[in-house]
Amino acid sequence: MNRFEYARPATLAEAVAAGAVPGAAYLAGGTNLMDLMKGGVMHPGHLVDISRLPGLDRIEWLSDGGVRIGALVRNADLAHETKFARQFPAVAEALLSGASAQLRNAATVGGNLLQRTRCAYFYDTASACNKRNPGAGCDAVGGENRLHAILGWSEHCIATNPSDFCVPLTALDAVVELQGPAGRRAIPLETFHLLPGSTPERETMMQQGELITAVCLPAEAARFAGNARYLKIRERTSYAFAVVSAAAALRLDGETIVEARIALGGVALKPWRPRTAEAMLAGARPDPAVFNRAAETALAGAKASGDNAFKIELARRIVVRALALAAAGTPERVPALPASPFAGAITHA
């Protein structure tokens, strides 16, 4: 780990000023940043410790029924907040399927949005990576890329976003609140992360010095509470990143889908929201044939970026299953194995 200047500003304004210095990075839970610094992947000259900024560790219920989650709320605290878990069960399930209990106790909401890809070539500093070193090339292309992107990738970068949390948040129209040198702004999470294009080093809409202060879920998101699930395929029962994952949420009126939300994880450099597929479901009956058509549509643009064609079929199937699970209803309690296919009954096509 490189030497750095350490500062712990007392106020948000001071933090924003300190973070605006080139080479500065914000430290909150540290679960990703410390890991990257130890690997020599990141070497910020200034660490701006925001972990104690006042007011950012609260879950606020808004008068319109929405919720504003402070950026410093710990992943575990959010997942276990009773009202939150009841209103946004897919989000709680996604949180509890991520990493380990220890990491969830440390990791923050804001940090989760900014966690960087697990692409091995990004982590391996001897490899070419356009994210680490713009213009260097991408050694993942033509390399060991069984788990890489199938949607939205470019020849400059085929990495994926590893977050579980962001997947249901994207499906539920979450909005990210930022504070920066130019003031406050809010960005829909769906557009917060950037696809790689020719500038994979640009990962989000944030500017230097900007800081996530909160993530908000609108009141409408809670209307899906009765039919919302997160499902995650892994190569180990727990403590593993997703091969692919999906959040599905339905608003049902009797036997009719009023509104559907879908997002996919592990398939692209951002949580993938297939809006056309969602639209197809509105007004339809929640049955396997309909879910299959929606899944086909959701993956219509998918393309293997290497030895990962199987992920396209896997992603298609997980959409079908996640929709079926959502239609069957949210369980009373987050399952013992959150988001696992082994969590409980599969209402199988």
Subset of 250-269 contacting other proteins (CB under 8 A)? none
Nearer Cβ to other proteins (21/103): 103
Nearer Cβ to other proteins (235/253): 235
What is the three-class DSSP state of 193? strand
Examine residue 323 and tell whether it contacts other proteins (CB under 8 A). Answer: no
Examine residue 299 and tell whether it contacts other proteins (CB under 8 A). Answer: no
Q: What are phi and psi of 251, to 5 degrees?
A: -110, 120
Cβ at position 183, least distance to other proteins in Å: 27
Examine residue 41 and tell whether it contacts other proteins (CB under 8 A). Answer: no
Examine residue 346 and tell whether it contacts other proteins (CB under 8 A). Answer: yes
Cβ at position 324, least distance to other proteins in Å: 10
Cβ at position 348, least distance to other proteins in Å: 4
Q: Tokens representing 132? A: 């680490």
Q: Which of 218, 313, 328, 329 binds other proteins (CB under 8 A)?
A: 313
Nearer Cβ to other proteins (163/189): 163
**Which uninterrupted H or E stretch holds 69?**
strand 67-70
> How far is it, in rounded angstroms, from Cα 305 to Cα 302?
9
Examine residue 327 and tell whether it contacts other proteins (CB under 8 A). Answer: no
Q: Which of 169, 243, 249, 269 binds other proteins (CB under 8 A)?
A: 243
Q: Give the pairing of strands 46-49 and 24-27.
A: parallel
Residue 61 vs residues 86, 179, 232: alpha-carbon distances, Å: 13, 20, 28
Residues β-bridged to residue 154: 157
Mark residues 145-164: x for contact with other proteins by CB under 8 A, - for none.
Answer: -x------------------
Examine residue 169 and tell whether it contacts other proteins (CB under 8 A). Answer: no
What is the three-class DSSP state of 136? coil
Residue 261 vs residues 154, 167, 278, 291, 323: alpha-carbon distances, Å: 26, 11, 6, 12, 9
The answer to whether residues 319 and 291 touch, using CB atoms and an 8 Å cutoff, is yes
Enumerate residues 5-34 that contact other proteins by CB under 8 A.
5-6, 8, 27, 29-31, 34
Enumerate residues 45-84 that contact other proteins by CB under 8 A.
47, 49, 51, 76, 80, 82
The answer to whether residues 149 and 267 touch, using CB atoms and an 8 Å cutoff, is yes
